[in-house]
């Protein structure tokens, strides 16, 4: 079995050059058996990737981070996906002690009060559970697209995540929104209806709004913050 590491990325890039998403995933499954996982937030992109994995019965685990404050529509598409593909997407939840302490000390909507509070909330609800979900894996498949953020324009399709000691694979990195939607329609894949209402990036309900015409893709996340770069800490680029 191959061992994933920062130095193996160049070799993997050579091996996957010219391959389809399905072929790349099959190669990873072969090279890293039992150590390939996919994180889904049930977005357009993630539903497309889930379809590739589940319709081809690839032995890749799929998990989601349930922060406890997701949209009801997100839970609905989660259920629809389980039913459509006869699967059970695994949820990871925040550690209750940390969450109870944070909310008791700061209040249920503390993330509106400061960037520090918002990042602390994201860490408890997302970052720490993600570390547990990725532990023991070699390949982390994501739904990141360059079009979603200026900070992602220079990403490579494979990158080393030092914090989680895992190689990240972004199969849809250079796909356009139209290409993703075409695949959703073509395969009749369940998707979050919030996308039809202007929601581009869908996270927690209190922290996400629809994007207005002419706004940046990322404008709907943490819109009350003035920072030019707004991330929750899941994807820290080296």
User: Which residues are designated catalytic?
Assistant: 232
d(CA 85, CA 95): 29
Residue position matching structure tokens 């979900």: 133
Tokens of 43: 């977005």
Q: Which two tokens stand for residue 48?
A: 């497309």
Torsion angles phi and psi, residue 61, rounded to 5: -70, 145
Terminus-to-terminus CA distance in the chain, angstroms?
26
Is 100 strand, coil or helix? Answer: helix
* DSSP helix/strand/coil, 203: coil
| Six token digits for residue 4 | 């994933």
By C-alpha distance, which of 75, 81, 19, 23 is closest to 50? 81
């Amino acid at each position: 079995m191959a061992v994933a590491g920062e130095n193996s990325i160049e070799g993997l890039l050579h091996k996957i050059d010219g391959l389809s998403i399905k072929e790349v995933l099959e190669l990873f499954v072969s090279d890293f058996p039992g150590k390939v996982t996919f994180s889904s937030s049930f977005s357009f992109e993630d539903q497309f990737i889930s379809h590739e994995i589940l319709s081809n019965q690839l032995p890749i685990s799929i998990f989601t981070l349930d922060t406890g404050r997701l949209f009801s529509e997100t839970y609905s598409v989660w259920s629809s996906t389980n039913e459509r593909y006869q699967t059970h997407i695994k949820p990871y939840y925040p550690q209750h002690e940390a969450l109870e302490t944070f909310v008791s000390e700061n209040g249920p909507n503390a993330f509106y009060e400061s960037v520090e509070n918002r990042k602390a909330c994201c860490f408890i609800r997302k970052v720490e559970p993600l570390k547990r979900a990725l532990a023991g894996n070699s390949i982390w498949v994501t739904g990141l697209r360059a079009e979603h953020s200026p900070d992602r324009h220079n990403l490579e399709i494979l990158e080393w995540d030092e914090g989680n000691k895992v190689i990240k694979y972004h199969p849809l990195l250079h796909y356009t929104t139209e290409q993703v939607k075409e695949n959703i329609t073509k395969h009749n894949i369940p998707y979050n209806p919030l996308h039809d209402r202007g929601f581009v990036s869908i996270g927690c309900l209190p922290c996400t709004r629809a994007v207005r015409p002419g706004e940046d893709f990322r404008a709907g996340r943490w819109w009350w913050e003035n920072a030019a770069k707004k991330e929750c800490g899941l994807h820290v680029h080296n």
